[in-house]
């Protein structure tokens, strides 16, 4: 049974919007806006990700512009704000790890992973995006809406891809394949569409 639009799967609560919303990134239209959204806050990092990124920093920097490399060399790649670890951003906009490929903002950490140079894909918060994890005595997953992602909503609807399916790899990375299967089973049994 769902309570207040929440779906319980083991000890995780999922807002029903994650099962309902159609979503699939369309980089040709959004140009990687999630990596360049103007904000004084960068992408959230887990404590253990700091060491993982530090160990591959020289590889990652190969993909970056001089400006981004110098920012990392002068100020590091993360900061702590309000007791949260966050990536640094350039001029409160582009993530320090951003590089551009044909005017599309992309993640240098993920590019190094795709090129087979590292085993670390990218920070979990970036991999999960636009799903965000809040912690209230346990994990609560919610959809974080940005106007910059409207092409992803259109693309998901056009191609019949739900957010829960688009984020399959990242959800399995966080909770495991068994948990993801249980989530799919739970939303398949219950009609969460409005």
Model confidence over 49-63: pLDDT tens digits?
A: 999 999 999 999 999
Confidence of residue 92 (pLDDT cuts 50, 70, 90): confident
90, containing H or E segment: strand 89-90
Would you list the DSSP string of the chain?
A: --BTTEEEETTEEEETHHHH-B----HHHH-SGGGT---S---B--HHHHHHHHHHHHHHHTTS-HHHHHHHHHH-SEEEETTEEEE-EETTTEETTEEEETTEEEEHHHHHHHTTS-S--S-HHHHHTTEEEEESSSEEEEE---GGGHHHHHHHHHTT-BHHHHTHHHHHHHH-HHHHHHHHHHHHHS----
- Is residue 170 predicted with pLDDT exceeding 60? yes
Task: Output the pLDDT for position 4.
Answer: 67
In contact, 85 and 44? CB cutoff 8 Å: yes
pLDDT per position as a tens digit, 121-145: 999 999 999 999 988 778 999 999 9
Residue of 72 and 192 predicted with greater confidence? 72
Average pLDDT over residues 16-44: 91
For residue 23, count CB atoms less than 10 angstroms from its CB and return exposed for 0-12, middle for 13-18, buried for 19 or more.
buried
The rounded distance, in Å, linking the Cα atoms of 186 and 34 is 29
**Percent of all residues in the chain with a pLDDT value above 70, rounded to a whole number:** 95
Residues paired with 90 in a beta bridge:
94
Which pLDDT score is estimated for 135?
83
Average of per-residue pLDDT across 9-30: 94
Least confident of 29-38, 122-131, 163-172, 184-193: 184-193
Is the pLDDT confidence value at 161 over 90?
yes
- What average pLDDT does the segment 159-163 reach? 96
Least confident of 2-6, 34-38, 149-153: 2-6
Q: Dihedral through CA 176, CA 178, CA 182, CA 185, nearest 10?
A: 120
Average pLDDT on 109-128 reads 96
Cβ atoms 43, 110 nearer than 8 A: no
- pTM passes above 0.85: yes
């Amino acid at each position: 049974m769902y309570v207040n639009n929440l779906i319980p799967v083991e000890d995780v609560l999922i807002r029903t919007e994650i099962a309902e919303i159609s979503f699939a990134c369309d980089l040709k239209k959004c140009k990687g806006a999630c990596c360049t959204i103007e904000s004084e806050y960068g992408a959230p990092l887990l404590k253990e990700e700091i060491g993982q990124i530090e160990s591959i920093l020289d590889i990652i920097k190969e993909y970056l512009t001089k400006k981004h490399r110098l920012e990392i060399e002068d100020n590091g790649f993360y900061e702590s704000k309000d007791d949260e670890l966050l990536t640094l951003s350039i001029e409160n906009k582009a993530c320090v790890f951003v590089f551009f490929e044909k005017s599309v903002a992309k993640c240098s950490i993920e590019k190094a992973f795709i090129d087979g140079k590292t085993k670390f894909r990218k920070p979990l918060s970036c991999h999960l995006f636009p799903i965000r994890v809040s912690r209230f005595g346990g994990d609560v997953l919610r959809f974080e809406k940005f106007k910059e992602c409207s092409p992803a909503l259109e693309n998901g609807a056009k191609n019949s891809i739900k957010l829960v399916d688009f984020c399959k790899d990242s959800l399995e990375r966080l909770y495991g394949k068994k948990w993801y299967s249980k989530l799919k089973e739970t939303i398949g049994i219950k009609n969460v569409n409005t």
